[in-house]
Structure 1
């Protein structure tokens, strides 16, 4: 069979033909990995990275696994133990003379030789993907478009057990490069005074570009990674850091800008009575109202306090029994914006009007985050009352 032939005897079209003849896929594969190992355990492996996901890849009916042979005799059509879930897209086969023909599926799960083969195969797949990322970027990005989400789920799954194996393979869109970049590329460009790897989460790149929370980080010319997949922020929270650089959301309570933080605390203290009144008028919807250190041109935004971000709340609330999950929200007000002077004047003259302003600003901030407004009718009435 083809997998037992010497690689020098075979042409790319031979591998492609075998791939399609075996019904691994109907398009040419993106990458073929043909390897022969002799040593503690002997085996041949012929692995394919598809150019397109299998038609049932994202369904419950999809079965991962490689064909398993012993000396050319098929033992198992789908040996799932050879591949972790994050490499479940890989198609192909493994042939080892060291495996018994009569071994049962139950015994295979505990077979030391099979575990050794699995370990070596997964190391080989990772090495080939890293090589593709470095030397064949266009094809890697094609691969990543189809299967990148699977890698990020792999980072997050099993409490981060595989994060070190996968962190160099994941990509995010960059605010400065306007393309997908790796974490290694990001860190290599970090400025001398930059402490953190900054990221922002949202539905699309276009929406993230407009987020008020990005203004302060962009003003310092720091690069921001854009997270547009549901799993992205969960993966980043699992990673926690990369090459000793911690991740920091642009919506975190503290951005790590010490001078800005001191100024924000000072202004918040100066306006404590007003901010406390605004917080109380929102009836527990926010944990705090404070002066913003991140807003430059926008009047208001929401940030989060704690491990659960606003974007993570949105994801979790779409799941069964997730409707009551809520992030601790902070309403940040731009004290340099003209609307703040209007609110301060109203606080001195007409406190009921401040309640209306607080609700309007809070609902505006919800809309920016893509969160639903609890009472749209009241919101429109509030706006109309301010226009009068």
Structure 2
């Protein structure tokens, strides 16, 4: 007669959680049972290392899956170490007492510490996930060194039965009587469904997972053969010297669904005192078209001892590198009860730092040794890098030397900030000049470029919307302050004197323009142009204002300053008009024309295009009378 026992109180609670809330996907039950089977095979392999004869002819360690459609059963069987009567009670009736502690004690006696660590397994709480899909679970197990087998059975309510039984071979067989109310996509009696789950979750278990495969060879006739469902040898566990670039590329395209070969492959192993792991990372060659949508999921796939745990583990990679794809496999991950939720541990932080460091080293190497290749990468992912730095400015020391910019002296080849500083002019002071515009062509036509160009100073061209925000946040590079050409007057002792001499004229022009400008002043930034418009507040430029308004994040308009070129013929004409009649309509018209012209040169809209056109027409007519 079977002995009926009650589950430990904590086990009852676990079963309730397992069935109703912990696992978000029922499919994971198969991963857990296969992982437990793999652990049992690890333990058997360890025993056989001491005495190979104990395998007694059954030398191929393996996992078998059987579909019994007639009885609606799914069976998972291994020829691993098996369990005794007492071990079944301890392992399946009590939480977290799977014999691992006693097994660990034996492992400590092993000659090789590394071999010992690799063999640690746990037949633990994951077993109970079977009750998500099964109305009854039966376990038949025979320990390798015992004659009698044990049968354990439960419907997951509050009790289980246990008795001795007959089993001719060592190992464990788990029989799942599947629930009647499973969804259509939870058909675990479909061989293709089982194959899909094994490939997704257990493809790299190092033991073969076998299943009888039925296929139709002709109408009315079927062929049954045994098929191995998993590949067993993970690419990332091979030596890099044994892997071809083609193999890396194919794995990337198959695993991460990309048509293109990756830009770069990073494959490394870390063996520290607190953590060991293998990482296989891919930098794509093209930005995914879903990258800026809600559909894109960042993060790396996570494995533990070749067992798939979760995908898109965000904690393993910083946001500014979120385009990187890949996986991490470690026996040292700290996992919670479901293996789905990764605990934020010190180990995880160490892995993240190692991964970040490797990626940055790879990119810097490309920048220094394969400039053309790096520029290709930058054109695809530069905006992501810049956005990441903007959001994590405290990381600037790691990232700032990866930034590339167009410049006035680079002949359309992008430069780094380091290169700018290395060729800075002696009389330039501690400034890195920059200009903002929609395109390089627009920037080069800015009137403020005239004096800077005349001095021979290099100017960074900021054409991406995020550029100016980032530069403002960075403030400086190696002690050199970023300075907009719109706000940076070239030092000139005469400019203040001219300003004072012309203050009445400038005041009258300001009066004509009313609230359109905060101030009218003279500048020495201009050579050929008569005027320009700049922001009154250096913290927010006119282009930045436009960007923020488009994003509906700026409820006000930036105050403008009209700057006039005191050396231009137009300014001489303004002086003459003012001397004849300070309140003349002609001075007012000139003021409007110069203001609107400056707006257009800056790429800004003017308030009244028709009035502007009329003023120009009237001026032409008057000039030809």
TM-score norm. by structure 1 comes to 0.95
d(CA) in 1 for partners of 2:286 and 2:612? 46
- 2:352 is paired with a residue whose SS is helix
- 1:98 is paired with a residue whose SS is coil
- 1:99 is paired with a residue whose SS is coil
2:330 aligned to 86, 91, 96, which one?
96
- The residue aligned with 2:558 is 327
Evaluate the alpha carbon distance shift between residue 201 and residue 105 of structure 1 in structure 2; reply closer, same or farther with a 3 A threshold: farther
Spell out, residue by residue over 1:307-358, the C-alpha distance to the aligned partner (whole angstroms, 9 max, x if none).
1111111111111253x43223211111111111111111122422111111
d(CA) in 2 for partners of 1:228 and 1:371? 15
Spell out, residue by residue over 1:44-85, the C-alpha distance to the aligned partner (whole angstroms, 9 max, x if none).
001111111112112232111110111111111110111222
Spell out, residue by residue over 1:348-378, the C-alpha distance to the aligned partner (whole angstroms, 9 max, x if none).
2242211111111111111111111111122
Contact 1:75 1:101 in 2 (8 A): no
Spell out, residue by residue over 1:13-51, the C-alpha distance to the aligned partner (whole angstroms, 9 max, x if none).
111111112134211111000010000210100111111
Contact 1:65 1:91 in 2 (8 A): yes
Evaluate the alpha carbon distance shift between residue 265 and residue 60 of structure 1 in structure 2; reply closer, same or farther with a 3 A threshold: farther
* Aligned: 1:283 with 2:517: no
1:201-220 matched pairs, under 5 angstroms: 201-220=436-455
Out of 326-335 and 232-241, give the one that drifted further. 326-335
Contact 1:154 1:163 in 2 (8 A): no
Unaligned runs of 5+ in 1: none
Spell out, residue by residue over 1:247-306, the C-alpha distance to the aligned partner (whole angstroms, 9 max, x if none).
111111x33x32x2x222111111000001111111122121111211001111112232
Contact 2:336 2:342 in 1 (8 A): no
* Aligned: 1:268 with 2:502: no
* Aligned: 1:295 with 2:529: no
d(CA) in 2 for partners of 1:289 and 1:100? 65
d(CA) in 1 for partners of 2:428 and 2:305? 56
Evaluate the alpha carbon distance shift between residue 293 and residue 310 of structure 1 in structure 2; reply closer, same or farther with a 3 A threshold: same
Q: What is the CA distance between 1:165 and its match in structure 2?
A: 2.0
- 2:312 is paired with a residue whose SS is strand
- The residue aligned with 1:36 is 269
Unaligned runs of 5+ in 2: 1-233
d(CA) in 2 for partners of 1:29 and 1:60? 23
1:3-22 matched pairs, under 5 angstroms: 3-22=236-255
Evaluate the alpha carbon distance shift between residue 25 and residue 345 of structure 1 in structure 2; reply closer, same or farther with a 3 A threshold: same
- 1:251 is paired with a residue whose SS is coil
1:133-212 matched pairs, under 5 angstroms: 133-158=367-392, 160-178=393-411, 179-195=413-429, 196-212=431-447
- The residue aligned with 2:602 is 369
Evaluate the alpha carbon distance shift between residue 305 and residue 87 of structure 1 in structure 2; reply closer, same or farther with a 3 A threshold: same
* Aligned: 1:385 with 2:624: no
- 1:212 is paired with a residue whose SS is coil
Question: Which one has the largest radius of gyration?
Answer: 2
Q: What is the CA distance between 1:105 and its match in structure 2?
A: 7.7
1:56 aligned to 280, 284, 290, which one?
290
d(CA) in 2 for partners of 1:130 and 1:316? 33
Contact 2:401 2:418 in 1 (8 A): yes
d(CA) in 2 for partners of 1:343 and 1:165? 53
1:119 aligned to 340, 349, 353, which one?
353
TM-score norm. by structure 2 comes to 0.59
d(CA) in 2 for partners of 1:72 and 1:101? 15
* Aligned: 1:339 with 2:573: no
Q: Alpha carbon RMSD of aligned pairs, Å? A: 1.6
d(CA) in 1 for partners of 2:420 and 2:536? 26
* Aligned: 1:71 with 2:305: yes
Q: What is the CA distance between 1:243 and its match in structure 2?
A: 0.7
In the alignment of these two chains, the number of paired residues is 382
Contact 1:173 1:227 in 2 (8 A): yes
- 1:302 is paired with a residue whose SS is strand
